[in-house]
C-alpha cells in the first residue's frame, strides 16, 4: 500500500488531534481496554468514544451520506496506525460501527438507516451480535430461537450464548427462525431487538481472564417492531453471512494494526531484560516480526475485496499470529508470568493468577485463545478454504 501526500497530510491531522485530545480527563485512558481488558474504565472509554464521534472520528469508512468520511482503506489504516501509536484506548463501538452499520448500509431500508445509523455513529446506542446458541455455534444454520409476528411486533423466544458486550448493549441483531418448520439457512430472519425490556435476561459468563466480556442472553417473549427486520423476512441467512464476512475481514483492521504496537512493547521488554540476549527468544522475536509483516501484507492486499476465502485466510493468519504473540510474551517475561502480581491492599497474589491480579500480557495470552474461535473457528475457516479455494468435496 502506498500513501499519497494527501494521505500523509491526513496522518498529520489525526496525530495532532489525538495528541491534543488524549489529555486532561482522557489522559488516564492511554492503553486501557486491550485484549482481555474490556472491563477497564468502560464508562470513561465510552465518553472518549463520544468525544471521538463529536469530532468526526467514528465510522470513517462509511459513506458521507450516512455520516461517515467515505475514507478508503489507506486512510483507515492510517487512522488505526496513529490511534495505536498514541496508545489510545480500545473502542467500545466495534459491533455497531464495523458489523451492523455496514450491514444496514448494504441491506437496510432507508427508514432503518435513518433510525439506526446516527446513534451508532454518535455512540449513543451500543450493539451486540445475537448469532450463537448452545446448539448453533460453528453450525450456525441450526439456529432455534424463534420469532413470530403478533400484530405490529415480532415476539422472540430462545437463547443466545457467548454474546460479547451484551451487558452494556442497548440493541442486539438477532438471527431467529421466523418460518415454523423451516430448517438450516431457510426461514431465518435478521431482527433488530432492543435489549432493555422485560423479555430479555443477560447472564454474564466468567471467562479465563476472570472477567465477563460475553454473556448468555435469554429472550422470553421479547418484542421488537415488525419493521425491524433487515432484508426480507426469511432471508436473514444471506444478511447474516454478509455480517460474518465483515467480522472475518475489515472489522478487525483496527485490532491488527494495533498488533505492531504490542510487538514493539514486547520488544522493549526484551531489550531491557535477559530475554533480549537469549538466542532462542531472539529467534522467536525475529520470527514474530516477520510473521506480522506477512499478516500486514496479506491484509493490505486483500481487505476491501469481497472474496470470503481471503477473509478466512486472513482470519487464520492474524488470530494464530496474535496467539503466538501471547505465548511469546509469557516466555519473554519468564517464570513471573505464571503468577499474579500483588494487588494493592496486601492480598497475596493467586496462583494461577485471576481477575484483577493479571497484567496486560497475561490477559493478552489468555484472551487470544478466543481469537481462533470467535467469528468462526480455525477448523471452520479451513473447511471454507478446502471447499472454495481447493475445490475439495465436502465430507459425506
Ligand atoms: C470471546 C468470544 C466472543 C464471542 N462473541 C460472540 C458474539 O458476540 N456473538 C455471537 O453470536 N457469538 C459469539 N461468539 C461465539 C463464537 O462465534 C462461537 O464460539 C464459534 O462460532 C464456535 O461455536 P461453538 O462455541 O458452539 O463451538 P462448536 O461449534 O461446538 O465447536 C466445537 C469444536 O468443534 C470444531 N468443529 C465444529 N464443527 C466442525 C466442523 N464442521 N469441522 C471441523 N471442526 C468442527 C470447532 O472448530 C471447535 O473446535 C464468541 C466466542 C468467543 C470465544
* pLDDT confidence of residue 270: 97
Distance CA 288, CA 298 (A): 15
Distance CA 314, CA 178 (A): 33
247, 262, 310, 371: which is the annotated catalytic residue? Answer: 247
Could you tell me if the CB of 119 is within 6 A of ligand 1?
no
* pLDDT confidence of residue 347: 58
Residue-wise pLDDT for 259-317, tens only, equals 999 999 999 999 999 999 999 999 999 999 999 999 999 998 888 787 889 999 999 99
Question: In ligand 1, which atom is closest to the CA atom of 375?
Answer: 17
Distance CA 392, CA 396 (A): 12
* pLDDT confidence of residue 339: 82
**Cα 376 to ligand 1 centre (Å):** 6
Could you tell me if the CB of 131 is within 6 A of ligand 1?
yes
* pLDDT confidence of residue 210: 86
pLDDT reading at 70 higher than 90: yes
Distance CA 212, CA 182 (A): 34
Beta-carbon count within 10 A of 90 CB: 21
**Cα 219 to ligand 1 centre (Å):** 20
Quick check: 250 and 132 in contact, CB under 8 A?
A: no
* pLDDT confidence of residue 236: 98
Residue-wise pLDDT for 234-266, tens only, equals 999 999 999 998 888 777 888 888 899 999 999
Atom 43, ligand 1: which residue's CA is nearest?
A: 379
Distance CA 324, CA 290 (A): 12
Interval 42-57 mean pLDDT: 97
Distance CA 226, CA 232 (A): 11
Could you tell me if the CB of 35 is within 6 A of ligand 1?
no
* Strands 153-164 and 200-204, bridge-based pairing: unpaired
Residue-wise pLDDT for 148-164, tens only, equals 999 999 999 999 999 99
**Cα 137 to ligand 1 centre (Å):** 5
Q: Which residues, other chains included, contact 141 with Cβ-Cβ below 8 Å and sequence gap of 6+?
A: 184, 185, 188, 237
**Cα 104 to ligand 1 centre (Å):** 24
Residue-wise pLDDT for 75-132, tens only, equals 999 999 999 999 999 999 999 999 999 999 999 999 999 999 999 999 999 999 999 9
Question: In ligand 1, which atom is closest to the CA atom of 164?
Answer: 8
pLDDT reading at 26 higher than 80: yes
**Cα 369 to ligand 1 centre (Å):** 12
Could you tell me if the CB of 349 is within 6 A of ligand 1?
no
Residue-wise pLDDT for 310-358, tens only, equals 999 999 999 999 999 999 999 999 998 888 775 555 555 555 555 567 8
Residue-wise pLDDT for 160-197, tens only, equals 999 999 999 999 999 999 999 999 999 999 999 999 99
Q: Which alpha helices (H) appear in the chain, and where do they start and end?
A: 5-21, 42-54, 73-85, 94, 101-107, 110-121, 236-248, 253-272, 279-302, 308-333, 360-367, 378-388
Could you tell me if the CB of 362 is within 6 A of ligand 1?
no
Q: Which residues, other chains included, contact 61 with Cβ-Cβ below 8 Å and sequence gap of 6+?
A: 68, 69, 70, 71, 72, 76, 102, 250
Confidence class for position 218, pLDDT limits 50, 70, 90: very high
Question: In ligand 1, which atom is closest to the CA atom of 139?
Answer: 29
Could you tell me if the CB of 58 is within 6 A of ligand 1?
no
* pLDDT confidence of residue 306: 79
340 or 73: which leads in pLDDT: 73
179 is catalytic: no
Q: Which residues pair with 157 in a beta bridge?
A: 146, 220
Amino acid at each position: 500500500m502506498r500513501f499519497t501526500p494527501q494521505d500523509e497530510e491526513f496522518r498529520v491531522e489525526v496525530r495532532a488531534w489525538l495528541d491534543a485530545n488524549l489529555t486532561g480527563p482522557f489522559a488516564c485512558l492511554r492503553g486501557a481496554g486491550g485484549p482481555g481488558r474490556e472491563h477497564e474504565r468502560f464508562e470513561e472509554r465510552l465518553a472518549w468514544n463520544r468525544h471521538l464521534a463529536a469530532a468526526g472520528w467514528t465510522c470513517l469508512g462509511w459513506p458521507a451520506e450516512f455520516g461517515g468520511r467515505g475514507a478508503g482503506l489507506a486512510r483507515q489504516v492510517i487512522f488505526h496506525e496513529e490511534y495505536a501509536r498514541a496508545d489510545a484506548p480500545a473502542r467500545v463501538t466495534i459491533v455497531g460501527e464495523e458489523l451492523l452499520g455496514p450491514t444496514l448500509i448494504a441491506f437496510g431500508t432507508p427508514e432503518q438507516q435513518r433510525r439506526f445509523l446516527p446513534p451508532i455513529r454518535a455512540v449513543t446506542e451500543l450493539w451486540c451480535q445475537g448469532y450463537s446458541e448452545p446448539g448453533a455455534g460453528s453450525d450456525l444454520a441450526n439456529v432455534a430461537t424463534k420469532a413470530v409476528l403478533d400484530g405490529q411486533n415480532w415476539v422472540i423466544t430462545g437463547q443466545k450464548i457467548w454474546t460479547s458486550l451484551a451487558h452494556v448493549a442497548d440493541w442486539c441483531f438477532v438471527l431467529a427462525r421466523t418460518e415454523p418448520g423451516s430448517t438450516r439457512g431457510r426461514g431465518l430472519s435478521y431482527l433488530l431487538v432492543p435489549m432493555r425490556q422485560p423479555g430479555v435476561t443477560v447472564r454474564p459468563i466468567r471467562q479465563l481472564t476472570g472477567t465477563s466480556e460475553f454473556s448468555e442472553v435469554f429472550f422470553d417473549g421479547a418484542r421488537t417492531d415488525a419493521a425491524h427486520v433487515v432484508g426480507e423476512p426469511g432471508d436473514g441467512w444471506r444478511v447474516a453471512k454478509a455480517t460474518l464476512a465483515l467480522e472475518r475481514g475489515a472489522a478487525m483492521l483496527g485490532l491488527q494494526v494495533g498488533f505492531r504496537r504490542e510487538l514493539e512493547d514486547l520488544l522493549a521488554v526484551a531489550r531491557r531484560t535477559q530475554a533480549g540476549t537469549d538466542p532462542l527468544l531472539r529467534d522467536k522475536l525475529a520470527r514474530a516480526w516477520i510473521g506480522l509483516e506477512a499478516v500486514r501484507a496479506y491484509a493490505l492486499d486483500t481487505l476491501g475485496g469481497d472474496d470470503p476465502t481471503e477473509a478466512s485466510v486472513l482470519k487464520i493468519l492474524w488470530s494464530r499470529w496474535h496467539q503466538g504473540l501471547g505465548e511469546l510474551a509469557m516466555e519473554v517475561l519468564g517464570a513471573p508470568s505464571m503468577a499474579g502480581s500483588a494487588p494493592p491492599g496486601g492480598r497475596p497474589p493467586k496462583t494461577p493468577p485471576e481477575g484483577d491480579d493479571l497484567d496486560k500480557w497475561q490477559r493478552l495470552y489468555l484472551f487470544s485463545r478466543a481469537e481462533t474461535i470467535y467469528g468462526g473457528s480455525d477448523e471452520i475457516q479451513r473447511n471454507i478454504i478446502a471447499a472454495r479455494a481447493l475445490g475439495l468435496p465436502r465430507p459425506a
